[in-house]
A and B are shown apart, each in its own frame.
Chain A
Amino acid sequence: MPETRALRLGIAGPVGTGKSSLIALLCRELGGTIELGVVTNDIYTDEDARMLRAAGVLDPDRIRAVETGACPHTAIRDDITANAIAIEDLESDYPATELVLIESGGDNLTATFSPALVDAQIFVLDVAGGGDVVRKGGPGIARADLLVVNKTDLAPHVGVDADRMRREGEQAREGRPVIALSRNDADSIAALTSWVRHLLARHRHGEHVATDPGPMAPHFHADGTVHAH
């Protein structure tokens, strides 16, 4: 069935890996052709929302901040109430909204969004976090809809092989997509925006199904199906 509700895309990953920057980038690149909204989940301040408003990439009223009571994981996973209300308000204030980007306030590798809150999620790592982060794994790294290995321009300065990090990401993800991104690399930006546009098209045609990367490892059910929950 064709989907009329806006696509909800979560952006998760450790602090400082470039989630807010990626959202600003998407607003800049897609804002001209797609009606956007943004919800941020700051742990301690409304810094992210203010940074994005100050970046001037989107009407400030379309950027909403949610306080999480120091429970950033809860707010995107088990009690999504505050985020769901923020998204519903955005959609009712701007009914033409097509894509809502939700930045997690998650501060480690285990935080992932509930499929009840987002239709798809991007997990962001950066090369400065070290080449071995991908191998350490975790639900977001292994099973988010997209893994972004960010700031590849910094790789030579931090002694990390960005290409190898991407390859190891692909291995850990069993074929799920990985994009090695840098804001200075136009080709990588094009790959990212094309992934988002493709996802939006699939969502509109009712072809996209939200899946949970889980905090649990994939496991078998008695009927033979495999779940990542």
Chain B
Amino acid sequence: MSGIAALLLADARLPAGGHTQSAGLEPALLGGLEPTDIPGFLRTRLATSARVDAATAVVTRAGAPVEQVLDAWAARTPSEVVRAAAVEAGRGYLRLARTLGMPTSLLPRDTPRPIALGSLARDLGLAAAEVARVAIYDDLQTACAAALKLAPMDPATPVGWLLACADPIDEAVADVAKLTEPQQIPATTAPLMELWQHAHSTATRRLFRA
């Protein structure tokens, strides 16, 4: 099962509302990030929020109590705007699980993306490293796809950015895949990125939800 399941979860064509998300890129560009700095933005997410989310998904998949994982994740995601955006993204997974009759659909309505993803991974029989890789890849690829809408360029260029992150992604996957307890989730945050995202809820001109 996990053979195609990991691919499904990483596929932008999965109908879970992924096209409404920019993984923080639109807020960053509105906040003053230069398009030439997007590769640095990707590395920053990989070192911070994407790592927290991947660890959260891994720990959820391992079967840690969801309320405890939620507390641990929320403590590492201080902006209520960022948390609310993650909950909206999570709802897409929950809705998918409901239609397909998977246990993940029983999670509370306010389950954020990384926990919904970890739970889906559990339903689908993914290995820890697979869910970690999907969580990180989806986050970075979401930003890359949004970049093409927000700051158009040769579409192969962001593919190169992502490939340049391949080794650090593997390292991050290895780091978080072995975690099983909520308190082991790394507490790496990027305050400026959070601040940009925090402002997005009141932005009057935006293409993406978050």
Contacts and interface: CB of A to CB of B under 8 A. Distances in A.
B22 A69 contact: yes
A81 B16 contact: yes
Interface in B135-178: 146, 149
A191 to B, nearest CB: 36
B173 to A, nearest CB: 27
Nearest to B26: A69
A44 B18 CA distance: 17
A70 B145 CA distance: 11
A70 B149 contact: yes
Contacts of B15: 78-81
Given A78-B15, A79-B15, A85-B92, A68 B204 contact: no
A74 B13 CA distance: 10
Contacts of A80: 15
A81 B209 contact: no
Interface in A55-93: 66-71, 74-75, 78-82, 84-85
B95 interface: yes
A149 B10 CA distance: 43
Given A75-B19, A81-B17, A67 B206 contact: yes
Given A45-B205, A69-B146, A70-B149, A75 B95 contact: no
Nearest to B22: A69
Nearest to A45: B205
B207 A70 contact: yes
Contact of A82 (B17, B22, B96, B204): B17
A69 B149 contact: yes
B92 A67 contact: no
Contacts, number: 58
Contacts of A69: 19-22, 146, 149, 207-209
A85 B149 contact: no
A45 B19 CA distance: 16
A46 B201 CA distance: 11
Q: How large is the interface on A (under 10, 10 to 19, 20 to 34, 35 or more residues)?
A: 10 to 19
Nearest to B208: A69
Nearest to A67: B209
A82 to B, nearest CB: 5
A79 B95 contact: no
A110 B204 CA distance: 27
Contact of A44 (B95, B146, B205): B205
Given A44-B205, A45-B206, A71 B19 contact: yes
Given A69-B22, A69-B149, A70-B149, A44 B207 contact: yes
Contacts of B22: 69
Contacts of B149: 69-70
Interface string B2-44: 0000000000000111111110000000000000000000000
| Candidate in A43, A75, A79 with the most chain B CB atoms within 10 angstroms | A79
Given A75-B19, A79-B17, A79-B19, A67 B95 contact: no
A145 to B, nearest CB: 24
A87 to B, nearest CB: 11
A108 to B, nearest CB: 17
B91 interface: yes
A228 B22 CA distance: 34
A41 to B, nearest CB: 10
B21 to A, nearest CB: 7
Interface of B: 15-22, 88, 91-92, 95-96, 146, 149, 204-209
25 contacts: A46-B204, A66-B20, A67-B206, A67-B209, A69-B19, A69-B20, A69-B22, A69-B149, A69-B209, A70-B207, A71-B19, A75-B20, A78-B15, A79-B15, A79-B17, A79-B19, A80-B15, A81-B16, A81-B92, A81-B95, A82-B20, A82-B88, A82-B209, A85-B91, A85-B92
Interface of A: 43-46, 66-71, 74-75, 78-82, 84-85
